[in-house]
Amino acid sequence: MTCDRRCSGEGRRSTGRVIRIDPRRGRVTAAAALQRPGAIAVAEFGVFVTDFWRDSVRRFDPGTLRETASLKLVLPRQIRPRRATFLPTDLALGANAVWVSTEWCALARVDQRLSRVVALVRLPCDAYQTMGAGAGAIWITESLAGLYRVDVATNRVVARIHVGPLSGRLVPTRLLFARGAILAVGICTQGGVSTRRNGLARIDPTRNRVIAVTQLPSGPLAVAYGKGSLWVARIGGSSVDRVDPSTGRLLRRFDSRIGVALAVAGQRAHGRPRATGRFSGSQCRRSRTQIAPLRESGSS
């Protein structure tokens, strides 16, 4: 999804496109114009895009990118402030449903045909960060309050997980699902204040418990999961780290110029190993065994 015109500021008159690309030929095979592009989520049964200023979510056919449905979202009277509209902020797909978050402490469960809102889940009014679907639940991160688990069978919040100790919480900004665990990548805090440090929390969804929190490179990060590993790089940096998600151990370091995002594809990874080591502990700080810091180096 792109935003092509009038994208700065509030974006009330922004325009963009949803684009389908053939990964083998690297060519655009379909495109659809969008007014006010927002969040996007993709599955075999559809491509879903929010319209923040029109309080709606749209569905596109994944093959032709033709718009097939649209649903305007409305807050129930018992939870909306005076004259408040829905204001959809994020999307997740799971349990044969579309889950849409809002600025007003709620999560809407919509059937995948976009015919109606099936349920509305009340959420604590904390600082929303991100959400994802995996391990049989919907997971929502709320700043220092931690990670909330929504049961897809009952449409209720059934658990809250604090990520790290009170003195040094991790604020998850990305959620990845791997090997039966949840990987939460986020910003380390100290005394409730954000730092420049990043961390990785490994969470056991069967017990709703944090297994460990380990440190990642500082600064803006691009992360991805694939081939059984977590891949981490500084945006604009010169190397990519391959990390064992179950231990936090740095497996290999590859020289590569980095843009703003990472994706994992193909069957093999190539490059030069640069260092090995391990991070461990229960909060965002280095253990005695450390890896060399990321540094500028030539691409290979």
Query: In the prediction, which pLDDT does 128 show?
Result: 82
Query: Can you list the residues of the chain whose pLDDT is less than 70?
Result: 80-81, 266-300
pTM assigned to the model: 0.82
Write down the domain spans for the chain. 1-161, 164-300
Does domain 164-300 fall under CATH 2.60.120? My reply is no
Q: pLDDT value at position 75? A: 87
User: Residue 108 has what pLDDT?
Assistant: 95
pLDDT tens digits along 177-210:
987 889 999 999 998 899 989 999 999 999 999 9
Amino acid 283: pLDDT: 56
Can you give the pLDDT at residue 38?
93
Residue 159, both tokens: 């658990």
The reply to whether domains 1-161 and 164-300 share a CATH topology is: no
The reported pLDDT for the residue numbered 1 is 92
pLDDT score at 291: 26
CATH of 1-161, one of 2.130.10.10, 2.40.110.20, 3.40.50.20, 3.30.365.10: 2.130.10.10
pLDDT of residue 278: 35
Q: With contact defined as beta carbons under 8 Å apart, do 164 and 170 qualify?
A: yes
> 54-97, pLDDT tens digit by residue?
999 999 999 999 999 999 999 887 776 677 889 999 999 999 99
